[in-house]
Structure 1
Amino acid sequence: MKELNFFSDYLAKRYGRKLYRIPLDLALGCPNREGGFGAGCAFCAEDGSRARHLSRHLDLTGQVAAGVEFARNRYGAEPPYIAYFQAFTSTFAPAEKLRRLYREALAAADFKVVIIGTRPDALPEPVLDLLSELAREYELWIELGVQSSHDRTLELIRRGHDFAATVKAANQLAERGINAACHVIAGLPGESAEDFFRTAERIAALPFRAVKLHQLLTLKKTPLASPEFPVKPQPLNEYEYMEQAAEFLHRLPDDWLVMRLIAEADPETILAPRWWMSKGQFLELFREKFNSGGGGMFTGVATADGSPTLYHPGFRQHFHSLAGAATESLRKFTEPAALAERLKRGPVRLLDVGFGLGANAAAAVRCAQESRGELEILTLELDPRVLEASAKLYAAGSVEARLIGALRRDGYYAENGIRVTLLTGDARQSVRQLDGPFDVIFQDGFSPDCNPELWSYDFVRELARRLAPGGVLTSYCSAFPFRGALLRSGLQVGESVPFGRKRGGTVAAFDPALLPVPLPEKERGIICRSTAGVCYRDPSLTGTRETLFARRERLVRRLRNRGVPKWFKA
């Protein structure tokens, strides 16, 4: 699939206007549930995907009326409509009963399109004949619950059928000229991304015409949410799912339609994943990514103050606070360092650990321009690809664009008494090659829970050794192991004003008078008198994150065995 062809756009073009779905529940249950309504598929909610405004005991005419009213009030919908038989398995009954139910519902409003959700193992010959009858009167689509092409997965999630059932059902529907769409879920327990892509290749060989794709949701009161479920699902965040969904769709035929790309549920029922993006934000970003052919490994995101950031799929974090990348640079770095005042007093030497998108360095450059001060910045960055991705995010002529352009081209930026030099590679090795002192240090690695290498006591000690006696270190991070490392390196520790989160950032200096707000005594107690403040250790400054995690866990266990509490209570 080279272009996204959404089902809603296809219908709007065919019928001359946007068509709205009227969800309907036939109260038929599911062949995979005990008694039709008991425990079923591991991911399925108790209501079987019934629309929120429906009641299982509402008559069909009443359901149609309620659905039409809801669509009219919320969307301004006008006929014709789509009859959407979604809840549970909408072919799980004898053909004559189904005929009566379908006819009753379809007679209650002006329907041009009918969508029926069902399972591959719930399409006996009499039901297929009935569907052929409906297909002669309406544009009929059958949503077939495929979920995966891997039998081991289908068994694990308790589907009650194998992939051969999907192959048979898809071919039977095609033989009767009935449109079929496959329903597939990303992130199923036990499946890798490659397993997911293999499903795309297998269904691409079948006579489907559309796909309904979404991420796995772990909902409360489902078998998947139970501690006894044998394989714990690994929830996909927005960007991970975006990457997988784009690749999945690229493996499908060009003429297929996309019925859905995102799962929704009552937020109160969702255990994981809990996304920050709205549906609209996700779809907008997905379209951009899909149409650009992927756009590289980093995804650009606009933050609340209008400045951009990137998402790093390896660390599963954004480079900045979504409350505002540019504002964070000011509140967490330049302002608590009193950089403007320092520049007015004389030349300033600054070490920037983690260039990233250059937001902190650019904020410092602007500060020097406004103060007409002399500023030297040495900035460290592990991954040059970040600069390439960042270059596309800023307006031409902006400080950021000029800075990134010069660093990519020449390795340095120089302008009116300001010089920025880029050093690429592992910051742990780079910092040992640097001569101090530095008046200001910006410490801006990814958070310790995913990038402990830049927050270990051993690395922090190297930074402290290069900090001038009257210098200051600032960081967005307030993690106890990091603050513990600062204290154990002989620095006084305080806080900056909170921004984007409840806790403030960190300010450290040899001179306590340089701290905007001293560290509260309770915080100091947590760091120094409980295992919460145990530092990461990396004596060789070459350890992997796994090594650092394991080393800290062993140390915490030893301290707990000696009676050191997990948490300090004043």
Structure 2
Amino acid sequence: MKHANVAIFVPHNGCPHQCSFCNQRTITGQMTQPLPQDVRNAVQIAKNSLHSDTKNAEIAFFGGSFTAIEPGYMVSLLEAAAPFVKDGTFAGIRISTRPDCIDEDVLKLLKGYGVTAIELGAQSMDDRVLQLNKRGHTAEQVAAASELIRSHGFTLGLQMMTGLYGDTVQGSKLTARKLSALHPQNMRIYPTIIMRGTELGEKYLRGEYQTLNLEETVQLCAELLDFFEEQGIRVIRLGLHSSPELEWDMLAGPWHPAFRELCESARMLRNITGYLKQNPQLQGSIMIKVNPKTVSKAAGQKKCNLTALAQMGYCVKIVQDADVLENCFTIE
């Protein structure tokens, strides 16, 4: 079974700062705060639908800065989830929080309630970009919190954003290298989407800010995806989840409902064209063998990769071959 989360959103609760890009209630599609009974209900529903496969699933608190919310409320949510972990029904609890809201006492408390994975919203490792976007923490705090989390035996996840106010493509690549050096087990990459009701939204409407376009972002994130996977770091999310609220409040930005598919297709095309350049003897009609799970990535959305290769003079036939590793290819 693929890894699964029982996602419980705690929208914007506990965050001590109003970041320039953040409209958390829109992003999560949720306005109200969950109660402990809501947690129990959500987990029980998931337990019934997943049946025996829950042993591979986590209960995940997302959407805010979990360790910064009122301590009594945080503990009440953990107490509602913990029994499902302690009896072995679920694999663990995952939370997301800020780098400046982690310390020894918090980690001991989380460990006691069965939390197994902690994700930090780093967003950038450039202090200038962090300050411009009013993150309220530094790159050094990201590094210190990451080391503390790993030293206590938690799975470490990190989150970064591309296209932030004041950032560049090269800046995002540098952030990726610095985050990789912190040895997270997984990453989430979120392109900046300009939302109504945010500081970036106001800057955009005044003509003071424009984030990367979709094509630029796809090419950048395809490269970041390659980089993290080469480091043995799993990218578990590329782009924001689709929701009616997101689409309604979005002013601009590189959002696409199949953003990860676009990135994986772009990566596949780049790798194929790179291979063809290194092997100029391959001309005219060629056959590209891929794993059955990789066919759509090789062809590209609406067969855009096949079109691009045709424009380069290649007549391509894609053939399924289960012996080829996923996301790899052979060419004849």
Q: Secondary structure at the match of 1:251?
A: helix
1:88 pairs with 2:64: yes
| CA deviation map 1:314-363 (0-9, x unaligned) | xxxxxxxxxxxxxxxxxxxxxxxxxxxxxxxxxxxxxxxxxxx6xxxxxx
| CA deviation map 1:95-140 (0-9, x unaligned) | 6653343122333684223210000001132102223334xx46x1
CA displacement at 1:302 relative to structure 2: 5.2
Structure 2 Cα separation of the partners of residues 28 and 244 of structure 1: 28
Which ranges in structure 1 are unaligned for 5 or more consecutive residues? Answer: 1-16, 34-39, 312-356, 358-385, 397-570
Structure 2 match to 1:479: none
Structure 2 Cα separation of the partners of residues 220 and 28 of structure 1: 16
Structure 1 Cα separation of the partners of residues 239 and 78 of structure 2: 28
Q: 1:119 aligns with which of 98, 110, 118?
A: 98
1:213 pairs with 2:193: no
Contact 2:310 2:316 in 1 (8 A): no
Change beyond 3 A, Cα 1:182–1:392 = farther
Structure 2 Cα separation of the partners of residues 289 and 82 of structure 1: 31
Structure 2 match to 1:171: 147
| CA deviation map 1:55-95 (0-9, x unaligned) | 524422224424654x689xx54451421110211011466
Output the amino acid matched with 1:47: R
Q: Secondary structure at the match of 2:19?
A: coil
Structure 2 match to 1:187: 163
Change beyond 3 A, Cα 1:296–1:147 = farther
| CA deviation map 1:170-222 (0-9, x unaligned) | 11111112111110011112211111101111111113211111211111212
Structure 1 match to 2:284: none
Structure 2 match to 1:326: none
Output the amino acid matched with 2:77: L
Hey, which of these two has a bigger chunk of helix by percent?
A: 2
| CA deviation map 1:488-516 (0-9, x unaligned) | xxxxxxxxxxxxxxxxxxxxxxxxxxxxx
Q: 2:6 aligns with which of 9, 22, 41?
A: 22
Structure 2 match to 1:45: 23
Output the amino acid matched with 1:114: I
Structure 2 match to 1:366: none
Q: Secondary structure at the match of 2:119?
A: strand
Structure 2 match to 1:414: none
Figure out how many residues of one structure are paired with residues of the other and give that number: 284
Structure 1 Cα separation of the partners of residues 128 and 184 of structure 2: 23
Change beyond 3 A, Cα 1:132–1:113 = closer
Structure 2 Cα separation of the partners of residues 105 and 392 of structure 1: 55
| CA deviation map 1:529-561 (0-9, x unaligned) | xxxxxxxxxxxxxxxxxxxxxxxxxxxxxxxxx
Structure 2 Cα separation of the partners of residues 67 and 44 of structure 1: 28
Change beyond 3 A, Cα 1:66–1:213 = same
Change beyond 3 A, Cα 1:171–1:100 = same
Structure 2 match to 1:256: 233
Contact 1:180 1:209 in 2 (8 A): yes
> 1:403-422, aligned counterparts within 5 Å?
none
Structure 2 match to 1:487: none
Output the amino acid matched with 2:250: I
Change beyond 3 A, Cα 1:46–1:181 = closer
> 1:130-209, aligned counterparts within 5 Å?
130-134=109-113, 137=114, 140-209=116-185
Contact 1:83 1:106 in 2 (8 A): no
Contact 1:46 1:222 in 2 (8 A): no
Q: 1:273 aligns with which of 253, 258, 277?
A: 253
Structure 1 match to 2:292: none
Q: 2:77 aligns with which of 101, 120, 135?
A: 101
CA displacement at 1:29 relative to structure 2: 1.9
Change beyond 3 A, Cα 1:42–1:201 = same
Structure 2 Cα separation of the partners of residues 66 and 87 of structure 1: 16
Structure 2 Cα separation of the partners of residues 302 and 23 of structure 1: 29
Change beyond 3 A, Cα 1:230–1:170 = farther
Q: Secondary structure at the match of 1:107?
A: helix
1:129 pairs with 2:112: no
Contact 1:61 1:105 in 2 (8 A): no
Structure 2 Cα separation of the partners of residues 179 and 98 of structure 1: 20
Structure 1 Cα separation of the partners of residues 102 and 185 of structure 2: 18
The CA RMSD measured in Å over matched residues stands at: 3.3
Change beyond 3 A, Cα 1:219–1:295 = farther
TM-score (norm 2): 0.73
Structure 2 Cα separation of the partners of residues 394 and 122 of structure 1: 53
Structure 2 match to 1:330: none
Q: Secondary structure at the match of 2:79?
A: helix
Q: 1:65 aligns with which of 37, 41, 57?
A: 41
More deviation in 97-106 or 184-193? 97-106
CA displacement at 1:48 relative to structure 2: 7.3
Output the amino acid matched with 1:211: M
Contact 1:49 1:86 in 2 (8 A): no
Q: Secondary structure at the match of 2:100?
A: coil
Structure 2 Cα separation of the partners of residues 278 and 55 of structure 1: 22
Structure 2 match to 1:391: 313
CA displacement at 1:19 relative to structure 2: 4.4
TM-score (norm 1): 0.44
Structure 1 Cα separation of the partners of residues 157 and 36 of structure 2: 25
Structure 2 match to 1:531: none
Structure 1 Cα separation of the partners of residues 3 and 155 of structure 2: 18
Contact 1:87 1:117 in 2 (8 A): yes
Structure 2 Cα separation of the partners of residues 65 and 392 of structure 1: 55
Output the amino acid matched with 1:45: N
**Higher RCO, 1 or 2 (CA under 8 Å, sep at least 6)?**
2
Structure 1 Cα separation of the partners of residues 212 and 312 of structure 2: 28
More deviation in 228-237 or 249-258? 228-237
